[in-house]
Structure 1
Amino acid sequence: MKSMMKVLSRYVLSAAAVAVLLLVINFAVLTIWLFTEKNDKNYYSIRQTADQLTFTKEGYELTGSGRDQLERNNQWAMLLDPAGEVIWNYKLPADVPKSYSISDVAGFSRWYLKDYPVSVWRYDDGLLVVGSPKDTMWKLGIMIPQKSMDNLKFWIPLFLILNTITAIFFALMLGLRLFRSLKRISNGIQDMAEKRPVSLPINGVLGDLAAGINKASSQLILQETALNKRDSARTTWIAGISHDIRTPLAVAMGYASQLEEDEGLMKEQKDLAGIVRRQCQRIKDLVSDLNLASKLEYEMQPLRKEQASLAPLIRSVAADMINDHISEQYTLEVSVSDNAQNGQLLGDKQLLKRAVSNLILNSIKHNPEGCDIKIELSKDGENFILSVADNGTGFPKEVLERLNELKEDVDHKEGVDYKEGVDYKADVDHKADVDHEKGTETDALKEQNNHGLGLTIVCQIIKAHNGSTHFTNLTGGGCQVICYLPALNS
């Protein structure tokens, strides 16, 4: 609303300024034109005629240059004596009298003589009259009181002020019509941004624009409906697959475990059974992660937020990792700054633990030769800064770019299309390739990409807690994931 009022005020002021400027320009042009016409070089001054008229023994005589100038301007002239009689003339029209009374002289001096515009000049022996052709000059006699002229310095500014007010008034009337149309357009755009249906009237100056907005709104509603339908179907499908796969997967894992522990089998056969069991476990974890990622993406995962101390939670996850997952080639160090020791946040403890464990497991899984993992927690103003870093192989360049793109998607979109965004290494075949001759997993399996879904879940969990995630490689080797989480005020 404020922006619309700003547009209206600027429109009104601009229109008023243009109107006043045009008024001033027109007045100036009119004044210049009048003075230019009055002093036109083709206008022959009667004074010059008087200077060219001389008295000789033969009578009054006009010099040659004087006659040429009268001829050039198609003018005539006559000289009246004190009695009003014509004592000399040059090309006097036939319908012009040769004798005049005082009242006649007073009349044509101010106006016209037989419709001829004339000028008069006091001459030594009488009155010199110079006339021009009919309908060539316009004479206007104006008498203005001196008091009125003195008051012009007051009336001219008042005139400009009144004209400015009038211009603003009419501009405001026209602007209000435009304002009402723009307000409807603005409200329509706002509704469209908030995914509400828009139906604007298509009459008026902005009718075409309103029709375009209506069409765009209809298309957006259709797209939103189609996307919701697709997302709902995908979520339902993932949930169904997750449920249906558990029973056969549990059976396969059970038989694989029995075969792996069967003393009657050869070592090579036991190894193959172990590979089957581990891949079944991997499928189980993948399905669980996929189900969780889908729920987080569409905000179907209920968040049980409560006040929680982040430092003890991180230590608990690290202790569980040391007890259950970490072998001798890995070291795990936890460092908590003083200002973060007692800090709390509002969050879901289980999901936060899942995020921290995913980050640690990411370093373990992708550094099979071992690495040092360091977890640091600090507090900067209103945010916790959680850093999980290792000195392993780090992220490949294309992986790092994809992870940060994924992070941007999670930060700025309502959901991520996992078909396109989850697995940053799409051309890696995720089959559990087994070298049956040797009974060992192939290099392709060892390099199998598990970053995508686990780190996607990390991004989604942090985002669900109004935080952000950043992925980077360290200069000396290894990688670092930094999570920013809002802390509760003390």
Structure 2
Amino acid sequence: MTAVQRFFRKYFLSTMGILLLFLVVNVVLGCVIVITAANNSEDSRLPIRKLAGMVTATDGKITATQEFSDTLAKNNAWAMLLNDSGTVIWDERMPDDLPRSYTVTQIAQFSRWYLQDYPVYVWEHPAGLFVIGYPKDSIVKYAYSTSAEAVVAEIVGPAILFAANILLMLILFWRNTHKVEKAVKPILTGIGTMAQGKLVVLPKRGELAEINTELNRAGEQLQKKDLARSEWINGISHDIRTPLSIILGYAGEIEDDNTLPSETQTQAGMIRRQAEKLRRLVADLNLASKLEYSMQPATKTLISPVELARQVMSDFINNGLKKRFALELRADAAAEKIIIEGDNALLVRMLENLIQNSVSHNPDGCNISITVGADENTCMIKVEDTGSGVSEPLLKKLNQAEISPSTQNEKGEAAHGMGLKLVKQITKVHQGKIIFSNAYPHGLTVIIGLPIHNRI
């Protein structure tokens, strides 16, 4: 699954979650509203069964409690009691316009609905039929009856309608998401292409045509800037070679001319060493630029890391390494059998830069050791010195994803810059990892992990 597909899958799932949350919240709010309304609303009907119990008939005399009278007055209601023949044998607060005798038909008519527009409720009483009435237009009573099949249809119908609406919403949402994906996918792909340093060419049509056009323009500008910087570095590297060669040649001749004063020879030696340092810096800058813009194709072969370390250390010793620096290679029999796949020239430059870094930043001398070992499927190359080490802030910068060529120490001087940036780039080209740490009791340790190709 690509990053674009993951993005829209996450977008779709999050929207589904929002829709589900919307439905749940609405259901919960509906229930809360219904429950709250039920708890806060007053029942339009008095508790007729309880009220009927407050009216008693003893020895033919009917009496009601004070609570009964207060309740009727509070609700502006009235009450009456009918005997079996339909005659009113007792009443309280009964309107004057109502008759005091009713037929069976009249009783059947008002028992469920209204008595001359007065809404009434009835209850069976030991003395007859107990009736509670309310003022006109105070209560609305409706009759509703239907078949069992109709009830099922009334329940199933809304459920089907609700499900159809949800399905329609999902279909419309998926359609819109698909349209958005179709429009945004080229943009996300283009951004990924730009991140790789490649030219972006997006179609200038569709709903997001303006964004595509701007992205194409941004890609062209970045390409021009990268090309200009790369050409500038290559031009500087090329143009500086001839002057440096002349400086190095004449400085070397003056340094080796014994007929000249020793002070002049010493100064010529200093000029030669600084020129060599400048040439190395320019070479590192050129190589770092090529690696950054993938202009340096890696020619990978099978390499023994132990033999690689021996070669680099021998070159340093043969090129006149000062006696105050001691090189040591640590590798056991198992390390001799490790084989890695990589670009020999780049890996040589990686180790050279690490050793040169220890030499350059420890002018009083130090011991430098290279240890080759293995950790499961990873070849571990450790370069360690007994020099002054680095501060914690600088160590943190060295372990960052990117190293600025202008990394400085506490005094504001350039420290561990381009050379270590190149080391990290070469490690990245070989799918490796690198860690910087301070050695105990002092010094700098650099551990590089490279994939093992096989073991002999």
The TM tier, using the shorter chain, reads: 0.7 to 0.9
1:47 to 41, 52, 65: 52
Q: Shift of the alpha carbon at 1:403?
A: 3.1
1:235 to 230, 237, 240: 230
Q: Shift of the alpha carbon at 1:201?
A: 8.0
Query: Which residue number in structure 2 is paired with residue 409 of structure 1?
Result: 402
Query: Which residue number in structure 1 is paired with residue 197 of structure 2?
Result: none
Query: Which residue number in structure 1 is paired with residue 17 of structure 2?
Result: 10
1:22-421 correspondence runs (5 A): 37=43, 40=46, 47-48=52-53, 50-51=55-56, 70-78=72-80, 80=82, 82-86=84-88, 92-120=94-122, 127=129, 129-139=131-141, 167=162, 169-181=164-176, 184=180, 187=185, 190-191=188-189, 193-194=191-192, 195=194, 225-262=220-257, 264-396=259-391, 399-405=394-400, 408-409=401-402, 421=405
Asked if 2 retains the 8 angstrom alpha-carbon contact of 1:15 and 1:168, the reply is no
Q: In the superposition, relative to structure 1, how do residues 170 and 187 fare at CA in structure 2: closer, same or farther (>3 Å)? A: farther
Asked if 1 retains the 8 angstrom alpha-carbon contact of 2:395 and 2:437, the reply is yes
Cα distance in structure 2, aligned partners of 1:350 and 1:270 = 34
Q: Deviation digits for residues 325-351 of structure 1, max 9, x if unmatched? A: 334333222122333322222211111
Q: In the superposition, relative to structure 1, how do residues 143 and 164 fare at CA in structure 2: closer, same or farther (>3 Å)? A: closer
Q: Shift of the alpha carbon at 1:388?
A: 1.2
Letter in 2 for 1:113: L
Query: Which residue number in structure 1 is paired with residue 449 of structure 2?
Result: 484
Q: Shift of the alpha carbon at 1:144?
A: 9.5
Q: In the superposition, relative to structure 1, how do residues 125 and 422 fare at CA in structure 2: closer, same or farther (>3 Å)? A: closer
Cα distance in structure 2, aligned partners of 1:246 and 1:272 = 22
Establish whether residue 462 from structure 1 lines up as the match of residue 422 from structure 2: no
Q: Shift of the alpha carbon at 1:122?
A: 5.7
Cα distance in structure 2, aligned partners of 1:400 and 1:222 = 39
Cα distance in structure 1, aligned partners of 2:393 and 2:51 = 97
Letter in 2 for 1:37: D
Q: In the superposition, relative to structure 1, how do residues 53 and 64 fare at CA in structure 2: closer, same or farther (>3 Å)? A: farther
Cα distance in structure 2, aligned partners of 1:428 and 1:119 = 98
Letter in 2 for 1:462: T
Structure 1: which 5+ runs fail to align?
Answer: 203-209, 411-419, 430-448
Structure 2: which 5+ runs fail to align?
Answer: 195-199
Percent identity of equivalent pairs: 34
Q: Shift of the alpha carbon at 1:368?
A: 3.6
Q: Higher mean Cα deviation, 248-257 or 85-94? A: 85-94
Q: Shift of the alpha carbon at 1:191?
A: 3.6
Q: Shift of the alpha carbon at 1:257?
A: 3.4
Asked if 2 retains the 8 angstrom alpha-carbon contact of 1:76 and 1:90, the reply is yes
Letter in 1 for 2:261: M
Q: Deviation digits for residues 103-149 of structure 1, max 9, x if unmatched? A: 1222222322211223445667765544332122344567899xx7x
**TM, length-normalised to structure 1:** 0.72
Asked if 2 retains the 8 angstrom alpha-carbon contact of 1:50 and 1:128, the reply is no
* RMSD of Structure 2 on Structure 1 (CA): 4.3
Asked if 1 retains the 8 angstrom alpha-carbon contact of 2:310 and 2:329, the reply is yes
Letter in 1 for 2:452: A
Q: SS of the residue aligned with 1:255?
A: helix
Q: SS of the residue aligned with 1:488?
A: strand
Q: Deviation digits for residues 165-224 of structure 1, max 9, x if unmatched? A: 76555344334544555563774784465246699988xxxxxxx99xx87x88776665
Cα distance in structure 2, aligned partners of 1:304 and 1:481 = 25
Letter in 1 for 2:14: V
**TM, length-normalised to structure 2:** 0.77
Q: SS of the residue aligned with 1:134?
A: coil
Q: In the superposition, relative to structure 1, how do residues 52 and 289 fare at CA in structure 2: closer, same or farther (>3 Å)? A: same
Cα distance in structure 1, aligned partners of 2:362 and 2:334 = 32
Q: SS of the residue aligned with 2:98?
A: coil
Q: In the superposition, relative to structure 1, how do residues 489 and 47 fare at CA in structure 2: closer, same or farther (>3 Å)? A: same
Cα distance in structure 1, aligned partners of 2:126 and 2:22 = 60
Q: SS of the residue aligned with 1:117?
A: strand
Cα distance in structure 2, aligned partners of 1:274 and 1:67 = 124
Q: In the superposition, relative to structure 1, how do residues 230 and 426 fare at CA in structure 2: closer, same or farther (>3 Å)? A: farther
Q: SS of the residue aligned with 1:317?
A: helix
Query: Which residue number in structure 2 is paired with residue 452 of structure 1?
Result: 417
Asked if 1 retains the 8 angstrom alpha-carbon contact of 2:49 and 2:123, the reply is no
Letter in 2 for 1:7: S
Letter in 2 for 1:47: A
Q: SS of the residue aligned with 1:395?
A: coil
Letter in 2 for 1:334: L
Asked if 2 retains the 8 angstrom alpha-carbon contact of 1:191 and 1:198, the reply is no
Q: Shift of the alpha carbon at 1:291?
A: 1.6
Cα distance in structure 2, aligned partners of 1:122 and 1:423 = 100
Asked if 2 retains the 8 angstrom alpha-carbon contact of 1:46 and 1:119, the reply is no
Cα distance in structure 2, aligned partners of 1:64 and 1:288 = 112
Q: SS of the residue aligned with 2:106?
A: helix
Cα distance in structure 2, aligned partners of 1:389 and 1:241 = 34
Q: Shift of the alpha carbon at 1:472?
A: 2.1
Q: Shift of the alpha carbon at 1:372?
A: 2.1
Q: Shift of the alpha carbon at 1:455?
A: 2.2
